[in-house]
Structure formats: structure tokens, C-alpha cells
Structure 1
Amino acid sequence: MSLQVGFLDMPMRTRLKPTTLLRSNYLIAASAGIDSYWLPDHLNNLVPRAIATPKYFGAARLIPDVDAIFEPWTMLGRISAWNRLRGLRLGVAVTDAGRRNPAVTAQAAATLHLLTRGRAILGIGVGEREGNEPYGVDWTRPVARFEEALATIRALWDSRGALISRDSEFFPLHDAMFALPPHRGKWPQIWVASHGPRMLRATGRYADAWFPVGLMPPNDYGRRLELVRAAASDAGRDPMSIIPAVALTMITGRSRDDVEEAIDSEIARSMALCIPATEWARHGAVHPLGEDFSGLQDVLPQTMDEPTVLSHASKVPLSLLREIFLQGTPGEIVEQVAVWRDHGLRYPVLLNFSMLRTSLRKGMASNVPLLSVLRGLKRL
């Protein structure tokens, strides 16, 4: 069975027109024959702004502020106008279930689904601390909020425009109404980003696809996939109907030397702060934010100054980056994804981290091997 392949872009404001860089990346991805194009749901970036400067990050000459990020549903509505002939599926990877009221999320996804003639995907997860807590959103029970958000979205979509009331600790409905119709009787697929046991069980019960961030070894992915399928079976669902997807970060280049130069940069090393402490420990290192630090969900990069980020980055074992991130020339990356495929993956969605380096020229040049990677994966 051949893989389906997606591309995850980053909608940051640049010195160009708002859609110029996104349109370029979209066309590169579409020309490779991929199946879907995605944007993330972030108010700010996971790249520490303290070192997102020309000294460490060549693309800062093009991107003056890495925390200036466009809203994804709005931008995908614009992109849907480019997408009519190519017909890629469009999705958010992933919508924040806590920061956004689920009725608004249900509306946004249904709107995009109608605009794209049935090609929208609702990626959804608990979100991260950095996009919730600083903005006054309660972060004490994110999984419980996620479960209720997902149940609320399903209830609104299934209401067929009738008034609906529903008890909920977080999102109660009182004579609410949702009148937008599905496209030809079908709502957007729901792809759930989940990692821990409770979220994996929720994925098995409710999701159309399992869509974690690939900050884990491939064999761990296979083990968690079995937990998702077991939960689906327990809920009376066909466990094989759930699409095994994953968001994978990638650093590529024209040569192995280019790749090693990027991996060893401070800006790329800083992204290892998003990796859980348990993964650091497997490589004989202690996460600088604590032995119990959960990584991506709890990191607050906007609060770190330059010396702190550089100190933390210096402690990252390169073996960890080489294991967790796809890295190498196009042929090497295709071989690495093949290992994930052997552990059950059927739908990789790639995020290109190759711009995380000191050289803007080499970062921009990585679009050529990126195209080779995407084409190679479609042949895998």
C-alpha cells in the first residue's frame, strides 16, 4: 500500500506580501503530487524568539518576527482559491481545543469543507501551554477540555440544525443551533493529535485518524498505534478504519555536510526543548527544564532570554536530534520514513525544518531536496 503524503507549512509574516511565501511552498508541495496541505494553529512560535535573529537564524532577514503568525482557518480559506484545480485536502495541524470554543471550531471546519467541496480536515488536540496560559485560558485539565470539545463538535454537527442542549463542565449548550450543512452528507474528517494513554483512548473512540507529532522513535509509534486500535475495537469501531498519520519534522540539504551544519546550529538545537525529558534520558542527558518535563505541551519559549536558550541548546545530544527528526539527503529521509511505514504509518505529514540554520541561502536552497523528498515518498 502506497503512502499518502501531506506538507505542513508555517504561516509566518515575512517582509513580502502575506501569501507570497506560502504560495511558493504550496506550489512546491503540489508539484510533488502530495495529497494534503496543512497549517498549524499557533498564536506564537515554538522557536525561541531570543535567538531568532540573523546571528543564529538566516531566515530572520526575511522573517522579522517569528512570533507573527497568521490565523490558520482564515489563511486556508484564501488558499482554497488556489486549490480548486489541484484539489489537495486542506487541514489545520492542529486546532487548539482549549483556546477555541468548539462551536467556533465546528463552524470554521464546516465552512472550509464547503469552500473546498469536501476536502477539509479538522486536526485537533489539547494545544500547548504557550498558546493558552499566557492568554488567560485555564491549563489545569487540558485533556478533559479536549474530550468535551470533541464531543461538542460532534453533537453540533449531528444536530441537523435543531436546537440542542447539552450538559458539559466546560462547554454546555443551551438551546444552541448549528445550521451549516455537511458537504454531500459528510463532515470533515477529524484527525486527533494524541500521545498519552487517555488521549490515545479518545482517539480510538472518536477519531478518523491518529495524528501525533513524531517526537518518538518509530517502534514507539507502532506500540501506541496498537493502543489506539484496541480502544477503537473496545468502542465497537473498525480499528483499521483509523488512518495512521504523523507529523514529522525534517532537516534536509543538498549534501550530508549541509545537513550536519543545520543540525548542529543553535537554532535547530533549541527545538530539542520540545522533546520530552524521557527521550533525553534515553540518550544519557537530562532535560534542562527538568527530569519530568513533558516537552512540546509545556515549553514557554517566549519567556527565555538569549543566554538561557544558548545554555539549554548546548546540552542537547546530537544523537537525540538524529533520532527524533528526519534528517539527511532526500534518499536518506525516504529510507527513514520507510522505517516508520514498517511500524504502521500510512500518512506522513512533513514540516520542513531545513530553514533552521545560520545561512539564508542554504535554507532557501533546501526547497530543491524538499521536492525530491516529497516525490520519493509518493513512490514509497
Structure 2
Amino acid sequence: MKFGISYNTPYYGADPDKLVTFARLAEECGFESLYMPEHIVLYPGAKVGPFEMPPSLPYVDPLDALGFVAATTERILLGTGVLLLPYHHPVTLAKRLATIDVLSKGRMRLLTVGLGSLPGEAKAVGVDFATRGRRADEAIDVLRLLWTGDEEGVSFAGEFFSFENLCSYPKPHEATQLPIHIGGSSQAAARRAGLRGDGYFPGGALSPEERAAQWELVRSSAVDAGRDPDALEYTRFGAIDMLVDRVEELAAQGVTRLVVSSSATEPDAQRDELTAFAKRFGLL
């Protein structure tokens, strides 16, 4: 099992010194990866399910923040949980992701993308909320095309994006692609993970039976597309106080990575929680 940790700026705040301290602590404690969430904008009345989101939550840009983290750490992998893919132009995004990967010497390897659930957020960036799934599928194809293209250039003609003979450099560090994991708790997200993803990272409040059915849908969709389902990673959220028995139970369900977060907001308390977790699972 691999263990990542999420840094939730809406909860912890956007203080740069705290972010650096946390990232270095996570690396020191042996965590594989650090994840950052994304919301581009909020607005009064914005809800995720029944929960209204305070519009003043300090969501930093996750890619800028991960670049900042990369400059102050040496080993920890960089992840998003999740990047709202339909709200980014893939030509620009391909450059940003490859740049972080090059400057971090190959650590931008846990990109997780999702669709977003706030119609007002889509409207703010000029995206039709109803078409964001198709837009995300196309964006994934564009990212991979640009990363693999050479100096002859690549072309694309789709519903949302089109271009001719583009060359995007630099390429990812010592790689032809960056992994793209799919986030989301819907059946559409599970199918997208099987058809296009390098892994699946569901959220949501689902029953064990629903989660099992979604992972099976990921795998069957991969088989239908001629892909190897055993090559897909399966990431889930976990609790900072979870016990070994629970981790073993999740591993038996096919989970390959758990992402936890600290319940504390201050560095000393965060150190206590992360250190205890790391000792419990032999990361130190």
C-alpha cells in the first residue's frame, strides 16, 4: 500500500510557511505523495450536495502550490485531488504540468482530474456545464498527444479543441507521458477511468457495495477498451487514525494507495499526527 497526504488549504489556510513545513514533514515521515485540491472560484450559495461552501475558503491554485512545494522538497510526489479539467485549456495545461515535472525531476506523477460540481464555476470560465464530461475526455486526449508529439508537430480536430502542427516542449522528465488518474464517484467517472485513466480516485459517500460495483465497472471498461485492468491504480481517501486491519481490508478490495489528511491545523499537532501514522504503518 502507498500512502499520500492531502493539504487542504480551505481548512489549513494559505500560509506559505505552514505549507512548506507540512510538505517537508510529510516527506520526512515517509509519505509517498502530497495532494492539493482545486476550486477556481466560489460564490454565495455554492453547494456540494447538501453542504454549502463558504465563499471565502482559500483555495490556492494547486499547480502553482505544487511547484512551490517541489522547490522546497526532494522526494515527495505531487498530486491533485482533484484538478477540474474542463475548466483548463489542455494546450496550456500540458505546458504547465510538463514544466512542474521537469523542474521537480519527475515528481508531477499523481495528477487526478475531475469534472467539477458547481454550475456557477463552469459559467465563470465560459464552459457549458452539461458538456464538461465530453470536454474532459477530449482534454485528456489532447494532453497525451502534445506530450508525445515531436518537432514535426501534432494536430487535433475535436468538438472543443482543434489545432494544427503544434509542438509542446519541454516534455515530461524522462518520460513520454504523465499519468492521469480519474476522480469522481459517478458511474461515468468509473467508466472514464477504465477507458482513459491510469488510475481511479473516487470520492463521495458511497456504500461498500457501491464502491465495489464502481471498481468492477472501472476494470470491465478497461477490458472492453482492450486495456489491462491490472495496470490501473486504485486510490481512496482514508483517515489519519485508521488502523492496520482497515488498511488490510482495503488492500483486499484492490486499493493500492490511501490518501489521508491531518485533523490538526497547527504544525506541532500535525507533526504528532503524521508521525504516529508513519510509525503505525512502518513509513519511518
Give the TM-score normalised by the residue count of structure 1. 0.64
- Alignment match of 1:188 (pick from 168, 178, 203): 178
- Give me the whole-angstrom Cα distance separating, in 2, the residues matched to 1:222 and 1:72: 30
Give CA-to-partner distance per residue, 1:308-333, whole Å, 9 cap, x none: xxxxxxxxxxxxxxxxxxxxxx3x55
Change (3 A) 1:219 1:27: farther
User: 2:106: which partner in 1?
Assistant: 118
Q: CA deviation at 1:364?
A: 7.0
1:88 alignment partner AA: I
Give CA-to-partner distance per residue, 1:255-289, whole Å, 9 cap, x none: xxxxxxxxxxxxxxxxxxxxxxxxxxxxxxxxxxx
User: 1:240: which partner in 2?
Assistant: 230
What is the SS of the residue equivalent to 2:2? coil
User: 2:38: which partner in 1?
Assistant: 41
Unaligned runs of 5+ in 2: 43-47
- Give me the whole-angstrom Cα distance separating, in 2, the residues matched to 1:366 and 1:127: 29
Give CA-to-partner distance per residue, 1:63-106, whole Å, 9 cap, x none: xx85232211111111112222xx11112222111111111221
1:339 alignment partner AA: E
Change (3 A) 1:27 1:182: closer
Change (3 A) 1:351 1:173: farther
Give CA-to-partner distance per residue, 1:319-354, whole Å, 9 cap, x none: xxxxxxxxxxx3x554434332232111011233x2
Change (3 A) 1:127 1:110: same
2:93 alignment partner AA: T
- Give me the whole-angstrom Cα distance separating, in 2, the residues matched to 1:42 and 1:364: 28
2:92 equivalent to 1:104: yes
Could you tell me whether the CA contact under 8 Å between 1:166 and 1:172 is conserved in 2? yes
- Give me the whole-angstrom Cα distance separating, in 2, the residues matched to 1:131 and 1:174: 30
Bigger radius of gyration among the two: 1
What is the SS of the residue equivalent to 1:98? helix
2:283 equivalent to 1:373: no
Change (3 A) 1:36 1:378: farther
Change (3 A) 1:70 1:34: same
Give CA-to-partner distance per residue, 1:120-161, whole Å, 9 cap, x none: 122212123153234443211221111111111112112224
Where do residues 1-380 of structure 1 align in structure 2 (5 Å cutoff)? Answer: 3-12=1-10, 18-44=15-41, 48=52, 50=54, 66-84=56-74, 87-121=75-109, 122-129=111-118, 131-213=121-203, 215-248=205-238, 250=239, 330=241, 332-352=242-262, 354-355=263-264, 365=269, 367-378=271-282
Identity %: 24
What is the SS of the residue equivalent to 2:113? strand
Give CA-to-partner distance per residue, 1:46-70, whole Å, 9 cap, x none: 78565xxxxxxxxxxxxxx852322
Change (3 A) 1:373 1:15: closer
Between Structure 1 and Structure 2, how many residues are aligned? Answer: 274
What is the SS of the residue equivalent to 1:124? strand
What is the SS of the residue equivalent to 1:185? coil
Change (3 A) 1:216 1:336: farther
Give CA-to-partner distance per residue, 1:224-267, whole Å, 9 cap, x none: 1121111112222221010111234x4x6xxxxxxxxxxxxxxx
Unaligned runs of 5+ in 1: 51-64, 253-329
- Give me the whole-angstrom Cα distance separating, in 1, the residues matched to 2:56 and 2:26: 22
* Larger mean Cα displacement after TM superposition, 177-186 or 142-151: 177-186
Q: CA deviation at 1:43?
A: 2.5
- Give me the whole-angstrom Cα distance separating, in 1, the residues matched to 2:278 and 2:161: 40
Change (3 A) 1:21 1:217: farther
Give the TM-score normalised by the residue count of structure 2. 0.84
- Give me the whole-angstrom Cα distance separating, in 2, the residues matched to 1:337 and 1:134: 40
Change (3 A) 1:337 1:116: same
- RMSD over aligned CA atoms reads 2.8
- Give me the whole-angstrom Cα distance separating, in 1, the residues matched to 2:89 and 2:222: 26
- Give me the whole-angstrom Cα distance separating, in 2, the residues matched to 1:337 and 1:176: 45
